[in-house]
Structure 1
Amino acid sequence: MAEPEVDRIVARTWVERWDRQQERYIADREERFRVIGDVVAHVCRDVAAPVVADLGCGPGSLTTRLHERLPSARVVGVDVDPLLLALARATRPDGAAVEYVRAELGSPGWVDALGVGAKWDAAVSTTALHWLDPERLAGVYADLATVLRPGGVFVNGDHLPDEQPAVRELAVVVRDRRAERAGVVDNEEWAAWWTGVRADPDLAEVLTPDELRGTSSGHGNGLSARWHREALLRAGFGEVGVLWQAGDDHVLVAVR
């Protein structure tokens, strides 16, 4: 089946708008991207042509930044949402070794769908895996442990709530105050972005109503950093830890 093709200028407008609305929820989003890039660049420093997978890549915000950071890498973004993938493909840097694949994380054959074989040097994700239920996410971690090379890493940037209620509340306060200081609290909301997308005639010309609807479940799994650590260790990773944190916003790394 042919993938929908969105005009590059239209797509760039919507991706830029996506980035702004995401900053409403992650004031230090660009720093999070840089931290993820720091880890991947270090792990791949002696690899001539690294292979990196971006899980739940959305419209390619992290994928593009990883390409800029590691231009020699083959970066493959995977997502289940056809609209977000269409925006990602339309804004892909010219000539870049960046690919986008439609597949559902954790479903049978999702790893093979990426077409990169083994062994990957890194897998990354940002504000995506909290949409997966715990059983499916544990399966994704088990899959990653089979395809990442020894010394390869999984790096996840996401909101990971603390299991202690008072600490969890304080982490949200820290996040919210940071958003106020950064001036992003009035940025467009996530739901408003989707409403705007569905009303854009330029997108309606190339995407069906189902493709414009969005595929997220609409709620998060609420899993803590400790849950992720334990699940990754059970999956076969050797070391797991938090490298960066601001409030409840974490960058978690697992080393194969």
Structure 2
Amino acid sequence: MHSDTASARIPAATSHGAPTWDPQQYLRHAGHRTRPFLDLLHRIPDLPARPARIADLGCGPGNVTALLAERWPEARITGFDLSPEMLRRADDEYAGRTPGGGSLDFRHADLAHWLPEDPYDLIVSNAALQWVPSHPGSFPAWIHGLRPGGTFAFQVPGNHTAPSHALLARLCDTPRWHDRLAGHGARYVHLLEPAEYLARLTGLGCAVDTWETTYHQMLTGPDPVLDWVKGTALRPVLTALGNDRPAVDAFLAEYRELLREAYPPGPRGTVFPFRRIFAVARKEA
């Protein structure tokens, strides 16, 4: 599937302060990264309209957006993302008509300011809202943008206190790196707990299901936890260091040693616990 026109909507650069993304690095652990979305997808109820209108907020390289088309093959699905790199990958791989008669397209959007332009049956987000500190404040507008009986569903990481992230934040604040990287390793502290998301969404008149799961992932290869975070949490740091290769190498060397101590390898790989927070909110019909 491909759209010849969608690439014209993809800008050449991200907005100021946004990390530069590497779709290939992100997809190196696609199996582990996709599993929480599959668990979320399983809990989403039937949608009110057919064909459904679906928005995927923070679609990334489009691989999970395509899974929405498998569940709702007649749906009109739009993936929104801030990253030109991710949007180009999604457009190249997935944009166009779907075998079930629906469509997939991808558009540039900053989720901090995104508003539904027409009624949706489903607004879904997979591991993206952690990058949007203001996201709970958008819930009223997003719920308002659903059809009666529509659903807002998302999952976000809940592991900002895990060693992988705590060590990153601590290293960014050391004297050697503070001037260039202070704050770049601590971006998830605004995330809410499941009970807080439950209270916010029930307060908007929705029937809500929230839960959390910790996946104990077995990662393989040399320095697998470092390889994992290179696709996500490290992106702001790598973007800030830019083309300063000696600084990138020095920072990664320090961080690698900290991760090796925190996540020692076993005979079959390295266990990497990863907590996720889920919410499915259905608007009153």
Q: Which TM-score tier does this pair reach, normalised by the shorter chain?
A: 0.5 to 0.7
Alpha carbons of 1:91 and 1:15: their partners in 2 closer, same or farther (altered >3 Å)?
A: farther
Tell me which residue corresponds to 1:150.
148
For the aligned residues, what is the CA RMSD?
3.1
What is the Cα deviation at residue 90 of structure 1? 0.9
What is the Cα deviation at residue 5 of structure 1? 10
Tell me which residue corresponds to 2:126.
126
Flag structure 1 segments of 5+ consecutive residues without an equivalent: 7-13, 162-167, 176-216
Report the 3-state secondary structure (helix = DSSP H, G, I; strand = E; otherwise coil) of the residue aligned with 1:32.
helix
Q: Percent identity?
A: 25
Which letter maps to 2:207?
E
TM-score with structure 1 setting the length: 0.61
In 1, are the aligned partners of 2:194 and 2:212 still within 8 Å (CA)? no
Alpha carbons of 1:87 and 1:139: their partners in 2 closer, same or farther (altered >3 Å)?
A: same
Indicate whether 1:250 and 2:253 are aligned.
Answer: no
Distance 1:237 1:78 in 2: 26
What is the Cα deviation at residue 101 of structure 1? 1.2
Distance 1:66 1:100 in 2: 13
Distance 1:48 1:153 in 2: 14
Provide, for residues 51-90 of structure 1, a one-character-per-residue CA deviation record: whole Å limited to 9, x for no partner. 1111111111221111122211111111111111111111
Distance 1:74 1:15 in 2: 24
Tell me which residue corresponds to 2:42.
38
What is the Cα deviation at residue 156 of structure 1? 0.9
Alpha carbons of 1:149 and 1:243: their partners in 2 closer, same or farther (altered >3 Å)?
A: farther
Distance 1:131 1:5 in 2: 19
Tell me which residue corresponds to 2:27.
19
What is the Cα deviation at residue 227 of structure 1? 2.4
Tell me which residue corresponds to 1:65.
67
Distance 1:228 1:22 in 2: 27
Alpha carbons of 1:15 and 1:69: their partners in 2 closer, same or farther (altered >3 Å)?
A: farther
Tell me which residue corresponds to 2:208.
240
Distance 2:60 2:139 in 1: 19
In 1, are the aligned partners of 2:53 and 2:77 still within 8 Å (CA)? yes
Report the 3-state secondary structure (helix = DSSP H, G, I; strand = E; otherwise coil) of the residue aligned with 1:48.
coil
Distance 2:208 2:138 in 1: 16
Indicate whether 1:226 and 2:226 are aligned.
Answer: no
In 1, are the aligned partners of 2:198 and 2:210 still within 8 Å (CA)? no
What is the Cα deviation at residue 123 of structure 1? 1.0
Tell me which residue corresponds to 1:100.
106
What is the Cα deviation at residue 238 of structure 1? 1.9
Which letter maps to 1:18?
Y
Which letter maps to 2:54?
V
Tell me which residue corresponds to 2:228.
none
Indicate whether 1:137 and 2:135 are aligned.
Answer: yes
Alpha carbons of 1:86 and 1:244: their partners in 2 closer, same or farther (altered >3 Å)?
A: same
Which letter maps to 1:32?
P
Provide, for residues 77-121 of structure 1, a one-character-per-residue CA deviation record: whole Å limited to 9, x for no partner. 1111111111111111552301111111132xx325xx5x11x11
What is the Cα deviation at residue 140 of structure 1? 1.8
> Higher helix share goes to which structure?
1
Q: Which moved more, 1:31-40 or 1:53-62?
A: 31-40
In 1, are the aligned partners of 2:122 and 2:150 still within 8 Å (CA)? yes
Provide, for residues 146-199 of structure 1, a one-character-per-residue CA deviation record: whole Å limited to 9, x for no partner. 1112221111122236xxxxxx97xx59x9xxxxxxxxxxxxxxxxxxxxxxxx
TM-score with structure 2 setting the length: 0.56
Which letter maps to 1:104?
D
Alpha carbons of 1:2 and 1:16: their partners in 2 closer, same or farther (altered >3 Å)?
A: closer
